[in-house]
Amino acid sequence: MIVAWVLFAPAQVGGAASYVIINGNSMEPVYFRDDLVILRTAQTYQIGDIVTYQHPTIGQIIHRIIDKQGDHFIFKGDNNGFIDSYQPVQSELIGRAWIHLSGAGTMVKQIRQPWVVALLAGLISLVVVAPSAGKLASTKKAQRRKKGQHQQAHQSVSPALVKSEDVMLVLVVVIGLALVLGIFSFTRPVTKSITESVAYSHEGRFSYTAPAPPGLYSNDTVQAGEPIFRKLISQVDFTFAYRLAADKAENMTGSGQMQALVSANNGWQWTFDLQPEMAFSGNQVDLRGVLNLSEIQTMVESIQQQTGVRFQSYTLTIIPTVNVAGRVDGEPLDDQFAPQLVFLLDDLQMQLAERPSANGADPLSFSQSGALPRTLMASNSLSLLGISLAVTTARTLAIAGLIIGVAGLAIAALFFMMTGSQDESTRIQARYGPLMVGVQRSTLDEEKRVAAVASIDDLVKVAERSGSMILHEANGPLHTYYVQMDQVVYRYQSRDRDRDRDGDRELVELRREREDNAS
Query: What percent of the chain stands above pLDDT 70?
Result: 76
Cα gap 178→168, rounded to integer Å? 15
Q: What is the pLDDT of residue 309?
A: 87
284-310 tens-digit pLDDT: 999 999 999 999 999 988 988 898 888
Provide the whole-model pTM.
Answer: 0.46
Which of 268, 278, 371, 382 has the alpha carbon at shortest distance from 320?
A: 278
Which of 226, 342, 208, 202 has the alpha carbon at shortest distance from 288?
A: 208
* Mean pLDDT on 44-58: 90
How many other C-beta atoms lie within 10 A of the C-beta of residue 379?
A: 13
Burial class of residue 472, CB neighbours in 10 A (0-12, 13-18, 19+) = buried
Residues in the chain: 519
* Mean pLDDT on 155-181: 59
Q: Which of 4-18, 46-60, 256-270 has the lowest mean pLDDT?
A: 4-18
Ranges of H-type helices in 148-202: 164-186
Contact present, 154 and 470 (Cβ < 8 Å): no
Cα gap 293→233, rounded to integer Å? 8
Does the structure show a pLDDT above 90 at 429? Answer: no
* Mean pLDDT on 413-429: 71
444-468 tens-digit pLDDT: 667 678 888 888 888 988 888 888 8
Does the structure show a pLDDT above 90 at 427? Answer: no
Does the structure show a pLDDT above 60 at 4? Answer: no
Cα gap 17→96, rounded to integer Å? 9
Give the strand pairing for 470-475 and 478-485: antiparallel
* Mean pLDDT on 171-190: 83
Report the greatest alpha carbon distance in the chain: 167
Q: Which helix (H) or strand (E) element contains residue 41?
A: none
Q: What is the pLDDT of residue 451?
A: 87
341-381 tens-digit pLDDT: 999 999 899 999 887 665 667 899 999 999 999 888 888 88
